[in-house]
Amino acid sequence: MNRTIPLPPKEPSLPLPLLITGVAGVAGYNALAYFSARYPGQVIGIRQADNWPLHASNIVACDAEDRRELVRLFDRWRFRSVLDCAGNCALRACELDSRLAWRTNVEGLINLASIIVDRDVRLVHTSIDLVFAGRDGGGYRETDRMDPVTVYGKTMVAAEQVLSDWLPRACTLRISLPMGVSFNGHAGAIDWIQSRFKKDRPATLYFDEVRTPTYTDCLNSLFEQMLSNDLAGVYHAGGPRQLSLYEIAQIVNRLGGYDPRLLMGCARIEAGPVPPRAGNVTLDSSKLFAALGYEPFTPWPYDESLTPSSREWHFDRGHERGSPKLLAEVLYRNPLRAESEQRFA
Q: Which domains are present in the chain?
A: 18-332 (3.40.50.720)
Strand-strand pairing, 18-21 and 214-215 = unpaired
Contact criterion met (CB below 8 Å) for 316 and 195: no
Quote the CA–CA distance of 199 and 201 in Å, as a whole number. 5
Answer positive or negative: Cα dihedral of 181, 184, 185, 191.
negative
- The predicted-structure confidence for 44-79, as pLDDT tens digits, reads as follows 999 887 877 778 889 999 888 899 999 999 999 999
Q: Can you give the pTM of this predicted structure?
A: 0.93
Quote the CA–CA distance of 41 and 39 in Å, as a whole number. 6
pLDDT for 5 equals: 63
Query: Please, which residues have CB within 8 angstroms of residue 293's CB and are 6 or more apart in sequence?
Result: 9
Q: Cα dist. 30→22, 73, 229, 230, 313 in Å?
A: 11, 22, 21, 23, 30
Quote the CA–CA distance of 63 and 159 in Å, as a whole number. 16
Task: Please report how many Cα atoms fall inside a 13 Å half-sphere around the Cα of residue 90, on the Cβ side.
Answer: 14
| Phi and psi torsions of 280, nearest 5° | -85, 105
- The predicted-structure confidence for 268-321, as pLDDT tens digits, reads as follows 999 878 899 999 999 999 999 999 999 999 999 999 999 999 999 999 987 888
pLDDT for 335 equals: 92
pLDDT for 345 equals: 36
pLDDT for 342 equals: 41
- Which residues of the chain, if any, have pLDDT below 50? 1-2, 338-345
Quote the CA–CA distance of 146 and 144 in Å, as a whole number. 6
